[in-house]
Amino acid sequence: MTRYSCLPRSLFVVVLILVGLGQALAAPRLNIEITGGIESAQPIAIVPFGTADGLIPPVDMAAIIGADLARTGRFKPMPTRDMLDMPSTREEVDFRDWSLLGMNNLVIGRVEPDPTGYRVSFTLFDVFRGTELASTSLVSTKSGMRQTAHRIADEIHEKLTGQPGVAATRIAYITSTGSGADLTVTLRVADADGYNPQTIVSSAEPLMSPAWSPDGQRLAYVSFENKRAAIYIQELSSGRRELVASHPGINGSPAFSPDGSRLAMTLSKDGNPDIYSLNLLSRELTRLTDHYAIDTEPSWSPDGQSIIFTSDRGGSPQIYRMAAAGGPAERISVEGDYNGRASYAPDGRSIVMVTRVNGAFRIGQLDLARGVTRLLSRGDLDESPSFAPNGAMVIYATIHGHRGVLATASVEGGGSQRLTQDSGQVREPAWSPLRR
């Protein structure tokens, strides 16, 4: 990295921020490695898509769809080399062949030219019944072809599991390189498969705690760019942003309410870290907790009625729940001497959190009805868990080979992946809402 030691430090920060804001910048890709699979994964054949004569699509649609389905841990796509034939129309399909190969489902498709770019059609079959389960045709620009493939993967996922797929979602995360005066921290957003990473903020001071708005259009985050913690909300499409909290002391833990009207946060302006709620329309700030202990890491229930948070009011950090308007709090984490950074599953029945087990910080899922915690990770310093918007997976930060990387774990158990960048540290993943 070039050093601009002649520039005043503050100017340096401003320059970096401006670069980060003007236009989202292409960044190194996250590489995804599948580190564990589910034994009950369903066999599925996704045949390379046929094309009109002479047409060469910009991406291999079948390969992207297959990788998307494999990453869920629920599907085991057939290698192309094992396929006996490669039909791309209904008439060319011989269900007996695919049945003999042990396939439950078959996907065929075609890519045709279109004034916009391409017309992509696909059909999903039940091999045993010989019936059509889904058939759709989509128009896509050239640059939108990966996203179109993700949408097809999600439609297949939903048809076969009854649950929406998350291939077309995105992940926000923090990266850092260097330290001290050479520190560079970025906030990036990438597709759920690690492709198309873009830097949306870059700074010489720490960035923390990215949080998605429920419509997936904005990110709230903490930035130290002015040598103190402040909370910003940034619109992804334009890069425009707004400073929403810059009080004396800490300004941290932003969390949008499910209806997007409020932002919960931690402020210590009144002498001690407590939880507040900012009405984003009226700008009215309401204090929700008032305790001499640390209260932080608020997270809303999916129905918006309650907020869970971390507090050490009982002597060790534990998870508490209160009404969204504040008031008395009840402790909901039962086991262990350190539980923190909790967030709700989309169905509201469980929470995922950081829990300490024999000195190791791991990701635990607490079943709220049964009060039982199940471990989802095996590292020593795992943190920042975030549910996929369909509740099937959790993404978190871990250390691998002395480097900060991201990992996912299937909530059903078994399936896991590691997401790494070629250089630097990666941390604080936040999974976007479903794309509408």
Partner 1 sequence: MTESRTTHLAALFLILSGAGLAGCASRPAPSDMSASMPTPTTTVGSAATTAPLESTRPTYAGPWEDPSSPLYERTIYFDYDNAEIKPQYLDVIRTHARYLGSQPGTRVTLEGHTDERGTREYNLALGDQRAESVRRFMLAEGVPAKQLATLSYGEERPADPGHSEASWRLNRRVIIQY
- The residues of the shown chain that bind partner 1, judged by CB under 8 A, are 179, 183, 206, 208-209, 222, 224, 227-229, 249-250, 252-253, 266, 268, 271-273, 294, 296-297, 310, 312, 316-317, 338, 340-341, 354, 361, 380-381, 383-384, 399, 402, 428
Helix (H, G, I), strand (E, B) or coil at 296: strand
Pairing of strands 50-51, 105-114: parallel
C-beta of 229: minimal distance to partner 1 in Å? 7
Q: How many CB atoms lie within 10 A of CB 269?
A: 17
Q: How far is CA 18 from the centre of its chain?
A: 26
C-beta of 17: minimal distance to partner 1 in Å? 17
Nearer to partner 1, 209 or 390 (CB): 209
Nearer to partner 1, 267 or 324 (CB): 267
What DSSP string describes 42-65? EEEEEPPPEESTT---SS-HHHHH
* Angle at 171 (CA atoms; ends 156, 252), nearest 5 degrees: 145
Nearer to partner 1, 70 or 187 (CB): 187
C-beta of 210: minimal distance to partner 1 in Å? 11
User: How many angstroms separate the CA atoms of 243 and 232, rounded?
Assistant: 4
Cβ contact 110:51 at 8 Å? yes
Nearer to partner 1, 47 or 267 (CB): 267
C-beta of 213: minimal distance to partner 1 in Å? 19
C-beta of 181: minimal distance to partner 1 in Å? 11
Cβ contact 159:144 at 8 Å? no
Nearer to partner 1, 29 or 247 (CB): 247
C-beta of 265: minimal distance to partner 1 in Å? 10
Closest CA to 374 of 386, 362, 384: 362
Nearer to partner 1, 165 or 252 (CB): 252
C-beta of 315: minimal distance to partner 1 in Å? 10
Nearer to partner 1, 68 or 297 (CB): 297
Closest CA to 331 of 293, 379, 361: 293
- DSSP tag of 58: S
Pairing of strands 285-287, 274-279: antiparallel
